[in-house]
Chain A
Amino acid sequence: MAIAEPERIRTSPKNEGPGIGQLVGSLAEALKTFAETIRRLCASKSALISMIILLFWLLMSIVGPLVAPYNPNAHNLGDRFKGPSLHHLCGTDRYGRDEFSRIVMGSRTVFLLAASSTLVSLVIGTFVGLGSGYAGGAVDEIVMRFTDVLMSFPSLLFAMLMLGIMGPSFVGVVIVIAVVFFPRIARVVRSVVLDLKTKEFVEAAKVRGENDFYIMFVEIFPNTLGPLGVEAAVRFGYAIFTSASLGFLGLGVQPPTPDWGLMMSDAQAYITTAPWMAVFPAVAIATLTVSVNFLSDAIRKLESGDL
């Protein structure tokens, strides 16, 4: 059977980059994959419980103001150091502020901080990893040395220094966490790129004359999404972890924004006299970080086919 010939043969156009059609197609595909992933995750008990806990806090952060019975910043000096009761589900702190409301509002801070810093680090890390891995040679060596130093250097110390200098703030925390995290993302992306760079479909693309950008973004990048998703989930958990730690040290978001870490720091002095001030924020942080980590572990198992 002969290969059919088209009627007219036009002169070749300029090498097109990835078209919009391809991107939209991949969006629909992405949503389908997302739904499928959730469904498969439900098979694992621990993943299911973790998703419920995560959903709970997510809900809290969204409907926060509607649920919180009091203004989280309202001082009420008559009600200081009250233990948990029907009026104050989690007790009050040294200014008489309602702990429960503070925790509910604090969840919003947590999610905003963690999500934005993870997102920024994902973007930076992906570009660095793609570029460095694909370029190879001296460029890759230098970039990797640099990220190696960043990655293994005590991250908390680094964050403390930067925030001490910049002055602690929401944006400051986001930037600092992004700077500390992007090397790990870059590493993950880079290792996929290095693995794929030598694969034959990439060489086939080169042989037909594709330019480097096409190969990086259209051929290679979609294959990084799996490992990237896993790493993103893990990073999200550590973003919560790190921002809470920074808050505890007083280097996170500043009052009046309610922050769970800061609440823990306030509670330190009163741990023997008013332990509920520490217990409830601690439980909140613990449930959130543990469930995110269990979930990312399940995602990792899914990605490697062990679930």
Chain B
Amino acid sequence: MGADDILDVQDLDVCYTTRFGTLRAIHDLSLTLRRSETYGVVGESGCGKSTLAFAIMGYLERNATVTRGRILFNGEDLLKKSRAEMRALWGKKIAMIYQDPTAALNPSLKIGMQIAEILQVHEGASRRAAHAQAVAMLGRLQIADPEMIADRYPHQLSGGMRQRVCIAMAFIMKPDLLILDEPTTNLDVTTEANILDMLNDLKSDFSASTLYITHDLGVVYKISDRVGVMYGGRFVEEGYIADIICSPKHPYTRGLLRCIPEVLLDKSKRRLTPITGAVAELDAMPQGCAFSPRCAFRESRCAQDDPSNRLYGGERRVRCHNVSEVDALRGLAPSCADEPSQPECADLRAPVSGSPLLVLDHVHKQFGDLTSMFSRGGVARVRAVDDVSLRILRQSTLGLVGESGCGKSTLLRVVAGLEAATDGKIVFDDQDISMPIEKRKREMAKRIQVVFQDPKSTLNPRKTIGQALMRPIRLTGLSPREADARTRSLLQSVNLGCEFLDRYPDQLSGGQKQRVAIARAFSSKPDLILCDEPTSSLDVSIQASIINLLLDLQRQEGTTYLFISHALGVVSYLCDTMAVMYLGSIVEYGPKNKVLSPPYHPYTEALLSSLSVPRPNAAQKRIRLAGAVPSAREIPSGCRFHTRCPRKVGRICETERPPRITTDGDADHYIDCHIPLEELSRVQPVFTELDQS
């Protein structure tokens, strides 16, 4: 361990004692963190990264113990310290920022006090001095009117604001080591970009060493210097982030990178390559290399011997028997016979021009908020969907993208018939379906189906998979025997075997549940499927297989998709046409390539530049939006984006609604903005490829 190392984890093993025996969650893990360095720990769910964070903090759950190894902090072994000694370190020398800021704050305590008490305890500061320092810290984190915020309670703050408070709590004592456990996962992309920028600034100002835990390779690229890729409780690859992305040496890292639907990647150019199989449960870990069951490069010795972490020049370590073979592949090209080739990209169906399948004509959805009747201001109207007009051609995919609260889910629910539109018309295949589902014709239910977001609640926990699928199939009028045959073939089409028929949802993984949900949606052979962020809760590799599944099924059945998500990368990979939504209305709409390149709506431009993409070969513009999304109860006058728009023209943006500009005289692509088209067209693209030097 060098003198410059803040943290030195050596050969760490952490085990859980459960009903099923002792399970090893962290396996022979070593990690060094230098002063003022940021080390990213990247892994999917279940890899043990949170366990690692809490092991270092010294706050594991009751049934977890460190069974081997040392954790040296500034030369001292933390594992040998007592609770009281650790308490002297917590909050002062080692601080942590968690994933859910709302849960991390005491709901009954004012913000100022929650920060000030750290100073009072560790420094013996007086109440007044501590309060002043707390307010100063809040101001430093770009919080407007910090004195007022310090006097508020957590429930009065927005999500991004709460996370800033947690960051203030962590930095206030200028700790040597900071551990961040996915702090931006629950935040919107534009808020996340701001927080990441702020973290970068604070880190350098305070010279803090940071351990940043995340599942998102893009975020890790933005914020860390070195990175460790975690799988099955161990690091499988470590090194500098740009090196790893440009030339990954471990099959898992390589597999991960090939799953990410980056912004400029298109479904017609390249197929996502999901990693086959699934992460093994802790009690079923293979004896040798943890990744071997899923590895395309595996040999016989991989299942027996767990490879050790070998050094590969500079800072690079890889835990693999076959590094040289993997390394021989340049970049992310496909390689051996086990991997599928990519002809399917060419087979994608083209959208059918002609009369569109679905037309939305000035659709409005307003909620009258009755609970606010008793508060000041009276009844507040929430204009969730405000004058939306869209068209979707047959066999095409319309991607609707927007951040939380923009109204995209409400729009989907109105189209599905789960809510009634307040105004406007919805026409499906030349039939009016502007009413909620109870009032529509029966066959509409068969022709429009939905795939939902949350795998945990998408299936009835009391029904087997077979029962869940049989019902909609029987509704199409088949006899029990025919229905049974169709259930089986549906399961096969989503790559699930017939053994799943008798299983209950709690026996399935998230990805498997979503497959069943997709099968269920396809059971009546619908013309239109509405997808409400179906991959948002899934790991990256699972997400890739679900996206591929959706594309394959679309190819076979000729289905039309309306795909909604806040993840711009996923949407832009999948769709043909894209619509960008902000506070209830569409601000830009058009063919994907036109929307993703100039001329942009300023919001589209900001969204694109806020994305965290792991692309060392591209420069990305850095446009940040100030403030938070206004409440849907008080939509700004004029152009609703003017409160945050970096390209705001002047008073006109506040007073008048922006005109609909069509580019190239082509009604297919429009932008709602006051800025003249020539000026918008002159804007540089957000992503520019760098020369390979």
- By a beta-carbon cutoff of 8 Å, the part of chain A in contact with chain B is 1-4, 6-7, 9-13, 15-16, 199-201, 203-204, 206-209, 219, 222-223
Contact = CB atoms under 8 A, between A and B. Distances in A.
A6 B485 contact: yes
B442 interface: yes
Given A3-B493, A200-B517, 10 more contacts: A2-B493, A4-B485, A4-B486, A4-B489, A12-B476, A200-B453, A201-B460, A201-B468, A204-B452, A222-B462
Contacts of A7: 482
A269 B454 CA distance: 66
Contacts of B454: 200
B458 A208 contact: no
A209 B452 CA distance: 16
A207 B478 contact: no
Q: Which A-B residue pairs are the 9 nearest by beta carbons?
A: A209-B445, A200-B452, A4-B489, A12-B477, A222-B462, A199-B457, A200-B458, A10-B477, A6-B482
A204 B450 contact: yes
Nearest to B478: A6
Given A6-B482, A12-B477, A200-B454, A207 B490 contact: no
B640 interface: no
Nearest to A222: B462
A10 B478 contact: yes
B474 interface: yes
A94 B223 CA distance: 88
A6 B483 CA distance: 8
A207 B448 contact: yes
A124 B154 CA distance: 42
A207 B418 contact: yes
A12 B442 contact: yes
Contact of B475 (A1, A3, A15): A15
Given A12-B475, A16-B474, A201 B557 contact: no
A201 B458 contact: yes
Given A1-B492, A4-B486, A207 B477 contact: no
A2 B556 contact: yes
* Residue of A7, A15, A207, A223 with highest tally of chain B CB at under 10 A: A207
Interface of B: 416-418, 437, 442-443, 445-446, 448-450, 452-454, 457-463, 468, 471-472, 474-479, 482, 485-486, 489-490, 492-493, 517, 520, 522, 524-525, 556-557
Contacts of B453: 200
13 contacts: A1-B493, A2-B556, A3-B489, A3-B493, A4-B485, A7-B482, A9-B478, A11-B477, A12-B477, A199-B457, A200-B457, A207-B449, A208-B471
B521 to A, nearest CB: 8
Nearest to B524: A208
Contacts of B482: 6-7
A30 to B, nearest CB: 11
A208 B522 contact: no
Contacts of A206: 417-418, 437
A3 B485 contact: no
Is the contact region of chain A dominated by helix, strand, or loop, or is it mixed?
A: loop
A201 B475 CA distance: 16
A201 B486 contact: no
* Residue of A10, A201, A203, A206 with highest tally of chain B CB at under 10 A: A201
Contacts of B462: 222-223
Contacts of B486: 3-4, 6
Nearest to A209: B445
Nearest to B444: A209
Contacts of A207: 416-418, 437, 445, 448-450
Nearest to A15: B475
B475 A209 contact: yes
Contact of A203 (B452, B472, B477): B452
Contact of A13 (B418, B437, B477, B490): B477
A223 B505 CA distance: 13
Nearest to B485: A4
B490 A3 contact: yes
Contacts of A6: 478, 482, 485-486
Contact of A209 (B442, B459, B460, B490): B442
Contacts of A204: 450, 452, 458, 517, 520
Contacts of A203: 418, 450, 452
A203 B416 CA distance: 10
Given A200-B453, A203-B418, A204-B458, A209 B437 contact: yes
Contact of B472 (A3, A208, A219): A208
Contacts of B472: 208
A7 B481 CA distance: 12
Contacts of B460: 201, 219, 222-223
B266 to A, nearest CB: 25
A16 B473 CA distance: 12
Contacts of A3: 486, 489-490, 493, 522, 525, 556-557
A208 B475 contact: yes
A105 B476 CA distance: 59
Nearest to A220: B460
A82 to B, nearest CB: 56
A201 B418 contact: no
Nearest to A6: B482
Contacts of A10: 477-479
A303 B446 CA distance: 37
Contacts of B476: 9, 12
A219 B556 CA distance: 31
A258 B485 CA distance: 62
Contacts of B485: 4, 6
Contacts of A16: 474
Contacts of B461: 223
A144 to B, nearest CB: 15
B534 to A, nearest CB: 10
A11 B477 CA distance: 6
Contacts of B457: 199-201
Contacts of A199: 457-458
A206 B556 CA distance: 26
A18 B60 CA distance: 48
A13 B476 CA distance: 8
A167 B520 CA distance: 58
A9 B442 contact: no
Nearest to B522: A3
Contacts of B442: 12, 15, 209
